[in-house]
Amino acid sequence: MILKNMLKILVFLQTRITVINLSIRKSFIALCLTFLSFFSLIQPAWAFCGFYVGKADTSLYNQASQVIIARDKQRTILTMANDYQGSAKDFALVVPVPVILKKEQVQIGDRKIIERLDAFSAPRLVEYFDTNPCDTRMYESFDAAPAAPSASGISGNRMSRKAKDLGVTIEEKFSVGEYDILILSAKESNGLETWLLQNDYKIPSGANAVLKPYIKQGLKFFVAKVNLQAYAKNEFQALRPLMMAYESSKFMLPIRLGMLNAKGDQDLIVYLLSPQGAMELTNYRTVKVPSDIELPEFVQQEFNGFYKAMFKNAYQRSGRNVAFLEYAWNMANCDPCSADPLNPEELKKAGVFWMDSPYASNVFISRLHLRYSREKFPEDLKFQTTANQNTFQGRYVMRRPYRGEMSCSAAQNYKQTVKQRQEKEAQTLAKLTGWKIEDIRKRIDFLAAENLPWWRNIWPSK
């Protein structure tokens, strides 16, 4: 249902606007038609060529940590991009890990890769354009349109001696980039907490109780501080992501330690990459964000505000203890695309280690969005890999009414249909966001339509 009267496609990328050239548009439409005819034979549920006009990415959230987990069988590469706000000298990261990590198992990640994954998988807004209802052939297709001080500065012998007295063992000690890293094991949580404080690791109060279960499970502790000299020398604008590679049957992501110094609810975006299919949580419920919903045209100007309000509403209705699936797709393609799929080199930088071809056909991404608190998420996140290849995306639709000259008997019926559609879009938006329906209606440019007597439905005017 590609509409030949469309003059331009607006592609909104955050605050930047790109207008696609008309000749490019024609080529794109032809390509979409080709794909539509192909997909209609095999996968009708996926067969649409919407036009991407906006996305809701992690820039919406002030405190949104991002994690990439690339996993195949028991091998994992974990990438952590923290949202630390403060002086680098006060930074300390303590992460439970299942095994003792060597220096060669820890690398500095590329924040741009996380931004690419975010852009690729972000919920997106697409638009369609109605055709002139007086074009009979095109009007028939209208009804079929798609629905809507650093550790390195402390003497190693003195540090080890004090650690031993407290039941703490320094298993490994090394530096990577701007980070000084220790891998610790501990016999009891009081000793570990005391050791960390004695060595100027600024951990929040209450850490003792949270550390205890990890020690009982036999987990180790990845402890990082910023090497201020290295940080200043390289003039970093922000702390870079950390990556770690390990092999373990434990497939989990510890979040409880991060809640100790959290100010209110925290947002976490997890990008799960697998060669098999979707990855899912086993100890918390996962629900899909509302999707394939038709919205008023003005939402294009404030899509970020819409998505924040909708997510907050869905989060509260769900009981505040679920994970939201925002995207699930094979990374070899996308429809519509909010950003280009990552190329093989970018996927490797994201931690994908199993690719044996120059194509990304065996990388499936699941994007989970969690808003969590100590009260509602008492356990760490536990995952499992599945063979489920079903696709999903947070997708929101604008349908632009035809506003040109209409001179045929079908025009009035079309106008009435559009007006009803616009009212339905207003009610849908109010329900999703909690916004007042009166305010929404004021912002909609309703298509002018004459109120016809009911008998005109069977006795058209002559």
- Are 305 and 421 within one domain? no
- Are 352 and 416 within one domain? no
pLDDT computed for residue 66 by the predictor:
94
pLDDT computed for residue 260 by the predictor:
76
The answer to the question of residue 53 being in a domain is: no
pLDDT computed for residue 305 by the predictor:
95
- Are 275 and 300 within one domain? yes
pLDDT computed for residue 319 by the predictor:
94
The answer to the question of residue 457 being in a domain is: yes
Residue 21's pLDDT band, with cuts at 50, 70 and 90, is very low
Q: Tens of pLDDT along 298-336?
A: 999 999 999 999 999 999 999 999 999 999 999 988 888
The answer to the question of residue 135 being in a domain is: no
Question: What average pLDDT does the segment 105-127 reach?
Answer: 95
pLDDT computed for residue 26 by the predictor:
35
Q: Report the Cα–Cα distance between both ends of the chain, in Å, rounded.
A: 31
Q: Tens of pLDDT along 410-457?
A: 888 899 899 999 999 999 999 999 999 999 999 999 998 766 677 766
Q: Which residue has the higher pLDDT, 461 or 448?
A: 448
Q: Tens of pLDDT along 234-277?
A: 777 778 999 999 999 999 999 888 787 667 788 999 999 999 99
Whether pLDDT at 460 is above 80 = no
Residue 48's pLDDT band, with cuts at 50, 70 and 90, is very low
CA 435 centroid distance within chain: 24
- Are 158 and 243 within one domain? yes
Among 20-34, 347-361, 383-397, 409-423, where is mean pLDDT lowest?
20-34
- Are 299 and 437 within one domain? no
- Are 449 and 351 within one domain? no
Whether pLDDT at 207 is above 70 = yes
Q: Tens of pLDDT along 72-112?
A: 999 999 999 876 777 788 788 889 999 999 999 999 999 99
Contacts of 44 (CB under 8 A, 6+ apart): none
Whether pLDDT at 12 is above 50 = no
pLDDT computed for residue 420 by the predictor:
93
- Are 174 and 101 within one domain? yes
Which residues span the domain enclosing 79? Answer: 58-120+149-395
Residue 157's pLDDT band, with cuts at 50, 70 and 90, is low
Among 182-196, 251-265, 345-359, 372-386, where is mean pLDDT lowest?
251-265
Whether pLDDT at 337 is above 70 = yes
- Are 75 and 193 within one domain? yes
Kindly state the percentage of the chain with pLDDT values over 70. Answer: 76
**Residues 146, 266: Cα–Cα separation, whole Å:** 35
Among 151-160, 343-352, 353-362, where is mean pLDDT lowest?
151-160
The answer to the question of residue 186 being in a domain is: yes
- Are 426 and 379 within one domain? no
**Residues 204, 261: Cα–Cα separation, whole Å:** 6
- Are 278 and 239 within one domain? yes
Length of the chain in terms of residues written: 462
The answer to the question of residue 403 being in a domain is: no
- Are 353 and 443 within one domain? no
Among 212-221, 262-271, 341-350, where is mean pLDDT lowest?
262-271
Q: The pTM is what?
A: 0.81
Tokens coding 225? 């501080």
Question: What average pLDDT does the segment 178-196 reach?
Answer: 93
The answer to the question of residue 20 being in a domain is: no
Q: Count structural domains, the chain.
A: 2
Whether pLDDT at 342 is above 60 = yes
**Residues 100, 171: Cα–Cα separation, whole Å:** 7
**Residues 8, 198: Cα–Cα separation, whole Å:** 63
- Are 84 and 199 within one domain? yes
